[in-house]
Amino acid sequence: MVNIIGTAGNDKLKGGGDADNIFGDPFTTGDLWGVREVGGALDSGIGGSDTLIGRDGPDGLIGDAWEIAGSGLGGNDLLNGGGGFDLLYGDAIEIRGSGRGGNDTLKGNAGNDQLRGDAGAMYANARGGDDSLLGGGGNDELYGDAGSMNHNSRGGNDTLIGGSGDFDFLRGDAGVMNDNASGGNDRLSGGNGTDWIYGDAEFMYDNTQGGDDTLIGGNGDDLLFGDGGGMYGNAIGGDDRIVGGQGHDELWGDASTMSPSAVGGRDVFVFDNGSGLDFIRDFEVGKDKIDVSGYGYHSIAELTLEDSEGGVIIDLDATAADANEVVLVNVFEVFAGDFIFA
């Protein structure tokens, strides 16, 4: 294993063919990976705008420091995992105080990778940068900001693309959001394969708030959650745009599980030609919208609506085959105002 620590400037750091740990800047204090500890936390000033390349082997890449705290600011870094199983952190393992992440670009490339745009965890008044994450090949996990967001932390406006893997997990902000954390306005695209996409976090607790996100499933049979898998406490969802893409997709504008005090947003579900057989699991009549303009419909009178025991079926191509249909689960009446037409 090779451990590489950059300077305070703008560095280009390359690993070897084995497992590498690479820090973009000389702030490794607190490290648990066996890297020599130097520099303390990045608690003031700005990290360099570095390029980190892992190459082959399982690598750990951290754009700036083990910990960003105080008024420290991460640089605008480029992290490229290369082959193998890689862990990429755009800025730090932890961001605390009023620390902020930079606007980073993370590329997993080949292998099953985990990409976190800013940190493993964010605390206090930490802020995430506006990051771009690309999973590449393999089955990847992408977090726009952090594994967990706590206290008053805020997510950036991130772009996540799953890539060509068979099975990707995309979380626009975090795996878990607690306390008063809030998500950014993110854009998430699954790409090929079966993808699970959460606009904000897999789980939202307490007084957390989701951003106004755009989710695109792409090809394959996908699960899309506009805000989270579960919204608990007083969690509030954002106003999201959900595009299932092709395949058999399961869509939630807010979350699959919500506590009685959680509040969903005003979401738009978008369907274009060849959208496949899709299920909307939490459509709210009079609040959410269904955009069928991509099929060229101009009024509700032109739509083919069918009743079923499970809910209204919208037959988008008006054929006997269940090729391009939308099932509104547990919804038994819709109105013209629930649609967006061409």
For the beta carbon of residue 155, count every other beta carbon within 10 angstroms.
34
Its pTM stands at 0.97
Annotate 284-320 with DSSP letters as a single string.
-TTTSEEE-GGGT--SGGGSEEE--TTEEEEESS-SS
**pLDDT score, position 57:** 85
Place of tokens 């590489």: 4
Instruction: Report yes or no: 72 and 41 within 8 Å, Cβ to Cβ.
Output: yes
User: Token digits for 247?
Assistant: 């395949």
| β-strand partners of 201 | 174, 228
Provide the residue-wise pLDDT of the chain in tens; the chain has 342 residues.
Answer: 799 999 999 999 999 878 999 999 999 999 999 999 999 999 999 999 999 999 888 999 999 999 999 999 999 999 999 888 999 999 999 999 999 999 999 999 888 999 999 999 999 999 999 999 999 888 999 999 999 999 999 999 999 999 887 899 999 999 999 999 999 999 999 988 899 999 999 999 999 999 999 999 988 899 999 999 999 999 999 999 999 999 999 999 999 999 999 999 999 999 999 999 999 999 999 999 999 999 999 999 999 999 999 999 999 998 877 789 999 999 999 999 999 999
Place of tokens 């090779």: 2
User: Token digits for 194?
Assistant: 């079966």
Instruction: Catalogue the long-range contacts made by 31-39 (C-beta closer than 8 Å, 24 or more residues apart).
Output: 31/66, 33/3, 33/60, 34/1, 34/3, 35/3, 35/5, 36/3, 36/5, 38/5, 39/65
**pLDDT score, position 207:** 98
